[in-house]
Structure formats: C-alpha cells, structure tokens
Amino acid sequence: MNTADLGLSEEEGREALRREGGGGRRVGVPSTALFTDQYELTMLQAALKAGTAGRRSVFEVFTRRLPEGRRYGVVAGTGRVLDAVENLHFDADVLGFLRERKIVDEETLRWLAAYRFSGDIWGYPEGEVYFPGSPIMRVEGSFAECVLLETVILSILNHDSAIAAAASRMSAAAGERPLIEMGARRTHELAAVAAARAAYVGGFATTSDLAAGFRYGIPTVGTSAHAFTLLHDTERDAFQAQVDSLGRGTTLLVDTYDVAEAVRTAVEVAGPDLGAVRIDSGDLLLVAHRVRQQLDELGATDTRIVVTSDLDEYAIASLAAAPVDAYGVGTQLVTGSGHPTCSMVYKLVARAASADPGAPLAPVAKKSSGGKTSIGGRKWAARRPDPSGVAEAEVVGTGAVPAELAGHQLLVELVKAGEVVGRESLDAVRDRHIAARAGLPLSATQLSRGEPVIPTEYVQGPSGN
C-alpha cells in the first residue's frame, strides 16, 4: 500500500497501515452517532436528569439460541465494531438535527457534544465460534456511554456473524476447493462490502466486490458475464477478445449457448493452457463431469472448472464428488443461507448503586417468560476440552474462573479506557476461525439439523467488580 498515493501524510499513512494490519486501505467513515434507535438517546436524557447516567455498568452481547439446525455460530464484525466505536461522535450537523427534531433537550445535547467512549470492551476474538449464552462482547463504562453503543454494535455483529456462519458451513462443505464471494448484486451496496469481509472470515478465498478488496485487502477476481458473449457476433469472437485482453489463464464462461461447443471453441482459442471454464446453469453435477471429460480429451487437463448458479452449502456438498475446482456463491451467502440475523441482544447485566468509581457492581437481569430470560453478572467464558483436546463444553460463569479453565478463557481485551487495543489483520481472523472450527467435534460440520455441537454450562458466583 502506497499511502502517499492516497494523499496521506507519513504519519497518517502509518496509522492507516496500523489500523488495517497491513492489508487494505483506511477509508473515511462518517460519524456512526445516528446509527442508533431514538430510545437510546431518550434513555440517556432521563438518566442524566435522574442522576443515574454515571453509574458504572456492564452490558453483554449474547444470543439465547442458534438459528434452527445450526451447530455453532461465528463471531464476525468485531473489527467493524471497533471502527464504529472510534467514529461515534456528535458533530454540529448531528446535534443540529437532534435539536431541530426536539429529540433530546439542551442539557443532553451538551453532554453528547463532548461524547467519546472512554470505557472498556472485551469480547470473543473475531473468527472464534460461539454458542447460546456465550458472552460474545462485554462493554463496561458509565451507563450513559455504554447505552449509546447498543444499536450499532448489534447491527454489525448480527449481520456479519450471520454471513460468516453461512460462509463457514459452505467452506466446510467445499473442503479444499476455494470459494468466491459474488453476492454484491443481491444486497444493499454497503452491506455487500460487509458481507464480503464476513465471508472471508468464514473461509471464502476471494470476492468479486472491488470495494471490499479496496477497503479490506481481500483478493478480488472476475472476468466476464453472458453479456460479453452476447455482445459479439460469435462466441469465438468473444472468447478471442477475452483471451487477447486477459491472457490464456483467464476463465471463459461456457454456458451461454451450447456447453460442449463452447468448451471446444474455448480450447481452440486459448489452447490447453486455458485457465478455467465457468458453468452457471443446468445440472451442475452432470455438466461438470461432461466438461471435465471433454477438457481432458482436448488436452486441457489443467484447465479448472468453476461452478456458480445459486449455490448454498447443500448444493456445494452435493457436488463433492464432481470434478469441480472452485465455487462462486452469491444470493445464499449474503442472506445468511436462510438465517440473515443471529438474534444477538445487548443487555445490562451488572451496575453500581452510585456513580462512585469504587462502588461495587450488583448483578441485574430481566425476569421474563417466553424464553427471554437473562442471567445477571459480569461473565467470563472458557471452552473446556476433553482429554484429546476437542471442545466438550462452553462454560460461562461469574466470579472467579476455576483453575482448570484458566488457560482456556475466550474473552480478550478489545478497547481499554476508550483506546482500541484489539485490532487485527483480516488474515489472522480468518486463520483463527479455521482453527476454532477444527477444534470442535466432527459433527459440527454436518449439514443435517441438530442441536449446538457442545452444550453451554453455567457457573454461578459473585458478579465481581
């Protein structure tokens, strides 16, 4: 990355590289102050008037259940959360909007004008797996500064973790075959960038989305669509134009007209060094076998076969025995393969009785029927392994961590006294996910419906300070 080319000073360039872990580029992000629900601000106003806004508080992000049939969840979006926390500030335009709409009073506006998060955030490291009840993120500070983060944190984690979970299932089904993320045209343009990032966390190798490549350093790929073939007078003309421009290693799309004829023409044009052919329709299992046989007969034994066409993890698994070299996935990925959210919540679990920094924390929890109960107290989490080192339980507790679990704790420090300390490169996050998934029982990657692959156990103790 040449930061001078971006118009950055040397100091700004170093900061950009530091933030992105050496990959991708730092892109200006507007204030995230209004990525919130109105009641966060009205609660703030009421708490300021009541004198309770400064009480030390602990909020936790967790989910009560996994999407139906899923065996594990995937933490994704943590890096984006850290960016959002850093960029949550109320500038003149935002304050003017709040004043004009009379959403909060002048006292609250003055408080917001000086807002910067100064608390601590702990969480599961990005790429880690999680289960029902896992304290995925813990936010600590005054009630006032923590409550403002609720909506934006949930917005990011619920979306990105849903995409990453789908991506993880797909990458497990694909095995060693690479996956291409290509869902930009199937979702909101900004969601597409976040989805590409989450897919990379979940095990995808590349993306077609250039904005994701620019921002996060994800490898990008892409050659041509059916429109390019239809533009030319003949399929041969289209293939020749593409090879002349992109070289023999390009990927030619062979299902615009007749697949067998297209494969023959592709090899005649590019020769046996043709990089790949792409199949986007039809019975992919049958067509892939026929194309592989034809390519081999034509001497293009190293030409790869890429398949696309509304794939999901089940379709990918069904192609395991087919001579396919890579998969391109769009719609099902960016919609979470049927589960576009993780149903994560952000709940107050402990608070002090006063604004005194030394006041002890007391556990608090909502009492509710209908499956919406919560467990109070600031929590730790550890994953207990069996004698062979495979995870056997997610242990969540309050108070002291049992000695036998001390080396298996999951939460790491992300923000300390308002300063981000847990930013990582995306490649490190991706590697962590692959390792975390490998540490689960083998049934974790089964696509048949089932319960979470390990149970969550609770250890109750004092909430701690």
393 strand-pairing partners = 384
As a whole number of angstroms, the distance between CA 76 and CA 413 comes to 16
- DSSP-derived secondary structure for 131-155: -TT---EEEEEEHHHHHTTHHHHHH
Predicted local confidence at residue 373, as pLDDT = 73
- Spacing of C-alpha 33 from chain mean position: 21
CA distances for 136 relative to 30, 161, 245, 414, angstroms: 26, 11, 48, 12
As a whole number of angstroms, the distance between CA 30 and CA 13 comes to 19
User: What interhelical angle do 78-86 and 189-201 show, nearest 10?
Assistant: 130
> In sequence order, what are the residues at sequence separation of 6 or more whose Cβ sits closer than 8 angstroms to the Cβ of residue 316?
170, 173, 174, 327, 329
* The token pair that represents 254 in the structure block: 């062979």
As a whole number of angstroms, the distance between CA 437 and CA 458 comes to 22
Evaluate whether 130 touches 124 at the Cβ level (below 8 Å): yes
Question: Taking Cα atoms as reference points, which of 348, 347, 350 lies closest to residue 465?
Answer: 350
Question: Taking Cα atoms as reference points, which of 195, 207, 136, 439 lies closest to residue 333?
Answer: 195
Evaluate whether 385 touches 408 at the Cβ level (below 8 Å): yes
- Spacing of C-alpha 142 from chain mean position: 28
CB hemisphere CA count around 246 (13 angstroms): 19
Strand-strand pairing, 73-74 and 179-181? unpaired
- Spacing of C-alpha 465 from chain mean position: 31
How do the pLDDT tens digits run along the chain, 465 residues long? 333 333 334 444 334 434 444 456 655 556 899 999 999 999 999 999 999 999 999 999 999 999 998 999 999 999 999 999 999 999 999 999 999 999 999 999 999 999 999 999 999 999 999 999 999 999 999 999 999 999 999 999 999 999 999 999 999 999 999 999 999 999 999 999 999 999 999 999 999 999 999 999 999 999 999 999 999 999 999 999 999 999 999 999 999 999 999 999 999 999 999 999 999 999 999 999 999 999 999 999 999 999 999 999 999 999 999 999 999 999 999 999 999 999 999 999 999 999 888 899 999 998 876 667 789 999 999 999 999 999 999 999 999 999 999 999 999 999 999 999 999 999 999 999 999 999 999 999 999 888 999 999 999 876 556
The CB-based long-range contact list for 234-238 (8 Å cut-off, 24+ gap) reads 235/261, 235/262, 235/265, 236/265, 236/268, 236/269
CB hemisphere CA count around 344 (13 angstroms): 33
Predicted local confidence at residue 460, as pLDDT = 85
Predicted local confidence at residue 19, as pLDDT = 42
